[in-house]
Structure 1
């Protein structure tokens, strides 16, 4: 609850769902308030709310971004009451455009800290790379969240690495949330209802990662009529079909997306096949499929089945050399929700998820293959119990069975075939249970505190841990609140990589006797302030996070063909700290926000950098985002996004020495490196512009979305390498020249979106 009602001798529970009138789906994070009682709450992930009110006549008012407010007057006598509320889309939709669905008042009074809520429908307003809306990239525009490199959809949250984010899709774990080698996320904006990001003050129900939780919820299908929506873009198209299976009882939604870059590259390769100087273009495409069925069994029970399948394929093929690389995620989830009564309900789900990649190449008569995978079967149950108007309990349990196949290599030639096992196959069990209490002391002070007990068993070794969580909010006045939080997190699965980025060739590895689980502790404190008659929201958060048993590789480690990969690990510690400042304009024809982060992120290992701490590759001193959205008229909306960031830290050789054997062969040149990550790439900055033009079709809705990525053609660095400067006459090396590689120049795009 956001506010606490005055004390009464007796109160009763008012509960129900807030739903979209046109789509019949639940609205997550909608506000339900009773202003005369100074009482209110927000809906949960299922669109469900509960209020405690005294007997008498009360007016419920429900509101949600992009919808018309609705109110209902009810009379409470001597029993609990169920009230469902339906919201219609606003006829002047986008009059007040903002990407964050939580209202300023909700942010001010919510006990939780470091939470960002994103609704899919609002993310589609922002400029997009190649016209492909990416929810993860919108999150990167928030303070405390950084991208790894140009085009990357990976998240680096408050000094954590990309693998330290818990990414959930309808409660099922997603291991690699990216397409196109990290340039796009796996989330189809048409299939996603909402994304909630926790940067700190983690609720006790989440565990298994150190730095953040990304909770993604899929759309429910329409219960009243069949609807079709989609979009046609320059590099990809998407299509969504939804409708009732049984009116007001059961619904379905299916959504698919595919790129077609491979169609054009194959045509070019075919046309240039006879050109001896032509180098074939690699073949690449990705596609993903989402589906969800929802069945309302009765007033108390609801059953849903959801699934996801994503696949990426990259290949190169000519007469002498063939290379293939494919990877993907698969998820299936079944969920049952049961209401015991108006103040006690349960959500139980079972799921299976898998991630794998395969690499194959062939040179003449020799071929080499590499693969790795992880497969899970999981179970989770959560209970919500409203004890009183002061106490709201959450408790539950989870268990997951993991199966790992670590870096298997196959070698094949015309006269020989061998299979090398890089490491071993592992099986592991992860489990946890939790309890938390949302305690409203009075109208000014509230707490959320809880405990998570987690465990992990693999290879005969069992780890157990307690993970306390706590946060508090105090309202200094109706427009100003201060907050503080503490969270302890454990991570039992490790993405072993010396790149620091969540690329598909990295290997997931379990905690074993020789590889202990990682742990983080984070404290944060902040202030939230509403001013300008509710037009502006200002927040400032300070955080400090320390991490234990961080993993990296020894220099020269053998990553793939290795029967004992643990021998290549190094274990160390890390710390990160910073200040996140956020200013958002919430009302008017022009809205948007400014986010700024000042931060530091370090790691320290005995066997690296002489034992001295060093900045991580994603350490970024300054990170600035400016987002503007302007409603020019009812049909045309303009958007702009500017980002600036300190260049990523990286290592370069500071000198080289050459040695030559006694026979006088060509000299071998060996680079000499200074401290790790002691250099910085050039600063990163970019301006994107966009426009959404609403069309007037005879049936349904449609629009044209225009985007220009990197308007002033800034050649931002992707990486730096050295090329030799040679004297061709004497066949000798004169020196080395640093060269920068950039990915994207200015990229215009247009997408046609439709719905009928």
Structure 2
């Protein structure tokens, strides 16, 4: 018998798993062989490959929110099998936030510290102003901090906001935010799925230290034309998709726009003649997503992705002061997918991305403008090869040409008597080569290991580095597994932020002679349990991350119109470590998760280059250090029409620096006294804890078809006034008018905010 088994032939089946509704890919769908206890998981394009011994089998094809299919297979040769799954007859019967795979698959994969999100399910959660935001949903996961009230910036496991890599169909997005950080640039109607990697990074990702947010957009429906959208309190959106050539190609177009400006202009018009009236600034944003795909044959398919978004902020006063500020991203990507064989396929992407902002200011006859931008042209190619049922190899190469326009400042007068300009252009070339292997020596043990070689050049300055990656999973029992991972990351581009400004006047800057690449290493370990007959997944992860060449700026740094920005940088080191607990339920009428993280983040910048460093060289906690972070998310299907949702967030207060006292300073005559604040070490105080509850309800207007609904949301349901910042006001004697004391005051942004959105599809 053993000899016969060894001589038995093996064949490979491969193909795509797609939605029966709109033919979109189902990344993470399962193609399983229950009798053998094995199977395959579809990749980001919905493509799977599975090698089996010759014989007869029953395949089970499944994806949460879709009906499971079974297929009889008589495997006598290598063949192509694609599947189309119909949506579950009652879509909300199993509300799932983890959009890819099952709990069992998550238990068995080697990948740890990763979160999967499906845009369709994220729309069920309560949203600020009714605008669904995928990045805000990611902030409900342990290990992910937000930047404060109403922001969509991510601070992942102690990393700063610029240490996150955002990818839109493999193209980099440099600024992921609209509305000064309140919303992200990712329109949920245009998004298929989002993967967030917090650690254990696969070798194909690089260029940032803390996380990777990999966003995939929806393919259009190649069978029929469809229209969907939504009308909300502050914005509206519309999506149109359909076939280019029926069955072979499809397109998808999505757009949205806010209309704050419609109301503010009317208010300004009504009050323009009022004495001492201060006009309300105009503000709105819009963005546009486009995607097309076309099958060139059985083995070739091309995809074209485009994104364009702009934020417009303007202020025109009656006194002749005019202020205009615009910023945004433009992204384009062309991808070619080629299947050489059922075991070997290639993805090649050519992309361009551009982020820029411009401020124009005019007062009477004098004006100035300030602008900055970064533009990339990139190519990457990824090869996937399933050598056998034990080894899956990934190989890839990428190259990027960067162009940095750093802080262009110009000033002029209308009569031509003044004309000043300042512009600094840098260029940089970044390249990488990687290889990884997913090795499964047994059902209990699985390893993924790889190596990434990176390099960067800016002018005559050159850097190169090796970035090893590794992860291991061992199954103690069918329902218990332990995992561990290690990753080293380098970052060659840096975000220079004018932290004193409330506007996003950020500058991306390359590594140069005096600006070394940032570097981090992260080790993590964890254990996972399936509980309650597989209905619950409990994970506990610990991590430790240490980083070098962290960037900060000397006091009084000049960031704009500066020909020597290198001299403004300070470099230090940092540490982050913590424990993350996560309990998740996916099946049944009530689903959701509970996440808790206990974490520490520290930084140190020693005296250097004629500077006393930061905090006089002593260790301090950055503003995004949060000791405790608790999130609770619940979704319950009341009936086929009504779905109820709720989320609760609690985090420790943000570290901040406040004066611990004041001393009185007078001139030599005892006049002109002033109170001078006395500051302790940096961030020795913490603001009050942040906590908030959001409530939501989705009411389906046509439950049998599920094509339209009313979504009700209540943001900050119990009207918690969370701290945004703290300032001190003077307390004066009512009789003499003298200042007798100073009182701390807290500024909060958002009270309770109800909203309603009408969503439709036909």
TM-score normalized by the length of structure 1 = 0.97
Shift of 1:408: 1.4
Q: Distance in 1 between matches of 2:429 and 2:566?
A: 19
**Offset, 1:498:** 5.8
Q: What whole-Å deviation, never above 9, does each CA across 1:93-112 have from its counterpart, x for those lacking one?
A: 12121211231111100100
State the match for 2:97 in structure 1.
99
Listed one character per residue, the Cα deviations across residues 581-634 of structure 1 (whole Å, up to 9, x for unaligned) are 001122221111100000000110011112111001000000000001000000
Change beyond 3 A, Cα 1:602–1:420: farther
Do 2:278 and 2:317's aligned partners in 1 also have CA atoms closer than 8 Å?
no
Shift of residue 366, structure 1, vs aligned partner: 2.8
The corresponding residue for 2:682 is 676
Other-structure match for 1:418 = 419
Q: Which residue does 1:80 correspond to in 2?
A: 78
RMSD over aligned CA atoms reads 1.7
- Taking the TM superposition and a 5 Å limit, the aligned residue runs for 1:56-75 are 56-75=55-74
- Within 5 Å, give how 1:147-546 maps onto structure 2: 147-320=146-319, 321-414=321-414, 416-421=417-422, 424-497=424-497, 499=499, 504-546=504-546
Match of 2:749 in 1: 743
Instruction: Give the SS at the match of 1:37.
Output: coil
Answer whether contact 1:710 1:746 (CA < 8 A) is retained: yes
SS state at 1:190 partner: helix
* Cα distance between partner residues in 2 of 1:614 and 1:574: 10
Residues 352 and 10 (structure 1 numbering): CA distance in 2 closer, same or farther, change over 3 Å?
Answer: same
**Paired residue secondary structure (1:267):** helix
- How far has the Cα of 1:500 moved from its partner? 10
* Distance (Å, rounded) in 2 between the aligned partners of 1:680 and 1:540: 27
2: CA distance, partners of 1:524 / 1:498? 33
Residue 34 of structure 2: aligned partner: 35
* 2:498–2:559 Cα contact (<8 Å) kept: no
Number of residue equivalences: 749
**Shift, 1:412, TM fit:** 2.6
CA contact (8 A) 1:498 1:552 kept: no
CA shift for structure 1 position 323: 1.7
Per-residue CA deviations over 1:209-231 (Å, capped at 9, x if unaligned) read 00000000000000000000000
Distance 1:503 1:82 in 2: 53
Instruction: Give the structure 2 partner of residue 123 of structure 1.
Output: 122
- In the superposition, relative to structure 1, how do residues 414 and 84 fare at CA in structure 2: closer, same or farther (>3 Å)? closer
CA–CA separation in structure 1 for the residues paired with 2:741 and 2:456: 53
- The partner residue of 1:611 within 606, 611, 617 is 617
* Segment drifting more, 585-594 vs 722-731: 722-731
Instruction: Report the Cα distance in structure 2 between the residues aligned to 1:199 and 1:729, rounded to whole angstroms.
Output: 59
Q: Is the 8 A contact 2:337 2:346 kept in 1?
A: yes
Corresponding residue to 1:621 among 619, 627, 634: 627
Summarize the Cα distance change of 1:662–1:526 in structure 2 as closer, same or farther, 3 Å threshold: same
Match of 2:610 in 1: none
Instruction: For residues 213-271 of structure 1, give each alpha carbon's deviation from its aligned partner in whole angstroms, at most 9, with x where no partner exists.
Output: 00000000000000000000000000000000100111000000000011000001101
In the alignment, the residues of structure 2 paired with residue 234 and residue 464 of structure 1 have an alpha-carbon distance, to the nearest angstrom, of 50
Secondary structure, in 3 states, of the residue corresponding to 2:328? strand
The 3-state SS of whatever aligns with 1:36 is: coil
Mapping for residues 584-603 of structure 1, pairs under 5 Å: 584-603=584-603
Deviation at 1:418, TM superposition (A): 3.2
Is 318-327 or 143-152 further displaced after alignment?
318-327
TM-score by length of 2: 0.96
Cα distance change, pair 449–15 in 1 and its aligned pair in 2 (3 A):
same
Could you list the runs of 5+ residues in structure 1 that have no partner in the other structure? 1-5
Q: Which residue of 2 is the match for residue 3 of structure 1? A: none
Equivalent position to 1:718, from 720, 724, 740:
724
SS at match of 1:94: helix
Q: Distance in 2 between matches of 1:659 and 1:752?
A: 61
Q: Distance in 2 between matches of 1:574 and 1:501?
A: 25
**Structure 1 residue aligned with 2:657, among 651, 660, 667?**
651
Q: CA deviation at 1:413?
A: 3.3
